[in-house]
């Protein structure tokens, strides 16, 4: 009897070992699993790279309309200048319901989540992965969702990098345009005009063709319509810039934020407007030169550098080296200036309590890296999971 129990236990672990061996490659461990699906509705698809550590946040990403985490962020996180960041932090990518590649059409009669409801699914994701806090990186619709999430759950967000964020509800002229062009064949054109500026559309034909092909062939068009409609129905964030010496209870983001936009992006005016409503002591505005609507695609090295400086300003990666862009910076002035980089590193440390908060979360091994050894590399562990919304 006892031998049979031992045999069953050994067989169980042997099966698990076979799974690990079968999925492992190139010295990296790869795990894939799906939690129990609640059949009440479509699910959020999430991908976790690395293992969350108790003493540091996880990078949480959210994509824009017409994209998913792969088309929006895969290339950026694979860029050589991002490798130093991914060695220090686990990354959790989130896909909005039905936006993953080759997704099935959402059920008839299903009510797609609003932007507010999508923001409220994120605590579920964090709880599932046992994530204590995050540094958000998002663009467009995803930036709105993460901003709403940070407003509702400030204790879960240590910092936000928001690309092309629009804090305003859709205007009535935009609403009318989308209402009368809401046919399926018009959705790709509407998404392209949302993602890219007129200059890019007219001059960068290869880029536009690549994204148009993805939008029309890899994204379920019915599901995309639902996501676009949800974004176009968003409410005002209703954030307010605190006045010097005024009330301290105004609605504003509590965490440090970096607002990013390309100089030829269609979102320039919206980001400038959002910046005017942010707390100036906790917000940095970065308008990237020679950059279009997708900075992570158009200028990944510059964005990676700004992201690293922002993380350092939160008190992490203090011993990290210079990026390749910093080492090769020329006098062209197109990249983030040294002054801007310094602001990104130091702005948040000067706020009351903020610098201490960030520093208190810094890993001890990171603090002593310059005196001993390089910080341990996080294993390339990927969890693919579905979380009900």
Residue 136 φ/ψ, nearest 5 degrees: -85, 140
CATH superfamily name and code, 22-315+339-368 = Alpha/Beta hydrolase fold, catalytic domain (3.40.50.1820)
Round the average pLDDT of the chain to a whole number and report it. 77
Strands 43-49 and 382-388: antiparallel
Asked whether 365 and 14 are in contact (CB, 8 A), the reply is no
Mean pLDDT of all residues in 165-174: 78
Q: Tell me which of 266 and 383 has the higher pLDDT.
A: 266
Mean pLDDT of all residues in 172-183: 52
Task: Give 62-107 pLDDT, tens digit per residue.
Answer: 999 999 999 999 999 999 999 999 999 999 999 999 999 889 999 8
Please determine, for residue 306, whether its predicted confidence score (pLDDT) is greater than 70: yes
For the entire predicted model, the pTM comes to 0.77
Instruction: Tell me what pLDDT residue 51 has.
Output: 87
Asked whether 121 and 107 are in contact (CB, 8 A), the reply is no
Residues contacting 94, CB < 8 A, separation 6+? 44, 45, 46, 60, 61, 62, 63, 69, 122, 125, 142
Confidence of residue 44 (pLDDT cuts 50, 70, 90): confident
Task: Annotate the chain with three-state secondary structure.
Answer: CHHHHHHHHHHHHHHHHHHHHHHCECCECCCCCCCCCCCCCCEEEEEEECCCCCCCCEEEEECCCCCCHHHHHHHHHHCHHHHHHHHHCCEEEEECCCCCCCCCCCCCCCCCCCHHHHHHHHHHHHHHCCCCCEEEEEECHHHHHHHHHHHHCHHHEEEEEEECCCCCCCCHHHHHHHHHCCCHHHHHHHHHHHHCCHHHHHHCHHHHHHHHHHHHHCCCHHHHHHHHHHHHCCCCCCCCCCCCCCCCCCCCCCCCEEEEEECCCCCHHHHHHHHHCCCCCCEEEEEECCCCCCHHHHCHHHHHHHHHHHHHHCCCCCCCCCCHHHHCCCCCCCCCCHHHHHHHHHCHHHCCCHHHHHHHCCCHHHHCCCCCCCCCCCCCCEEEEEEEC
Q: What are the boundaries of each domain within the chain?
A: 22-315+339-368
Among 67-76, 105-114, 154-163, 204-213, the minimum mean pLDDT is found in: 105-114
Instruction: Tell me what pLDDT residue 382 has.
Output: 53
Nearest CA-CA partner of 163 in 333, 324, 306, 281 = 306
Q: Please count the CA atoms within 13 angstroms of the CA of 126 that sit on its side-chain side.
A: 23
Q: Tell me which of 271 and 344 has the higher pLDDT.
A: 271
Asked whether 44 and 70 are in contact (CB, 8 A), the reply is no
How far, in whole angstroms, is CA 1 from its chain's centroid?
53
Q: Tell me which of 331 and 209 has the higher pLDDT.
A: 209
Rg of the chain (C-alpha set): 22
């Amino acid at each position: 009897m006892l031998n049979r129990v031992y045999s069953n236990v050994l067989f169980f672990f042997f099966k698990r070992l076979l799974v690990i061996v079968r999925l492992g490659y190139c010295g990296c461990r790869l795990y894939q699993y799906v939690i129990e699906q609640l059949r009440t509705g479509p699910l959020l698809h999430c991908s976790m790279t690395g293992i969350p550590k108790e003493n540091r946040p996880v990078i949480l990403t959210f994509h824009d309309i017409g994209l998913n985490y792969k088309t929006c962020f895969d290339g950026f996180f694979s860029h050589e200048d991002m490798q130093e960041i991914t060695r220090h932090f686990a990354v959790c990518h989130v896909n909005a319901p039905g936006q993953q590649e080759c997704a099935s059409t959402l059920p008839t009669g299903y009510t797609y989540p609003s932007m507010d409801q999508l923001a409220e699914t994120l605590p579920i994701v964090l709880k599932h992965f046992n994530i204590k806090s995050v540094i958000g990186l998002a663009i467009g619709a995803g930036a709105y969702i993460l901003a709403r999430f940070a407003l509702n759950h400030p204790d879960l967000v240590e910092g936000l990098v928001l690309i092309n964020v629009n804090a305003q509800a859709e205007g009535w002229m935009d609403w009318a345009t989308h209402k009368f062009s809401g046919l399926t064949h018009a959705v790709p054109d509407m998404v392209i005009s949302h993602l890219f500026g007129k200059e890019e559309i007219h001059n960068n034909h290869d880029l536009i063709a690549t994204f148009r092909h993805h939008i029309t062939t890899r994204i379920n068009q019915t599901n995309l319509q639902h996501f676009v409609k949800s974004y176009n129905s968003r409410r005002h964030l209703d954030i307010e810039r605190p006045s010097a010496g005024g009330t301290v209870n105004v609605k504003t983001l509590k965490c440090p934020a970096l607002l990013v936009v390309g100089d030829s992006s269609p979102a320039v005016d919206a980001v400038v407007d959002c910046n005017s409503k942010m707390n100036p002591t906790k917000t940095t505005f970065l308008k990237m030169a020679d950059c279009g609507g997708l900075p992570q695609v158009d200028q990944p090295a510059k964005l990676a550098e700004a992201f690293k400086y922002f993380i350092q300003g939160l008190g992490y990666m203090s011993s990290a080296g210079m990026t390749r862009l910093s080492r090769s910076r020329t006098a062209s002035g197109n990249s983030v200036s040294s002054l801007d980089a310094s602001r990104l590193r130091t702005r948040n440390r000067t706020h009351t309590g903020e610098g201490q908060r960030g520093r208190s979360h810094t890993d001890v091994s990171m603090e002593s890296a310059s005196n001993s050894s390089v910080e341990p590399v996080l294993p390339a562990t990927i969890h693919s999971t579905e979380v009900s919304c």
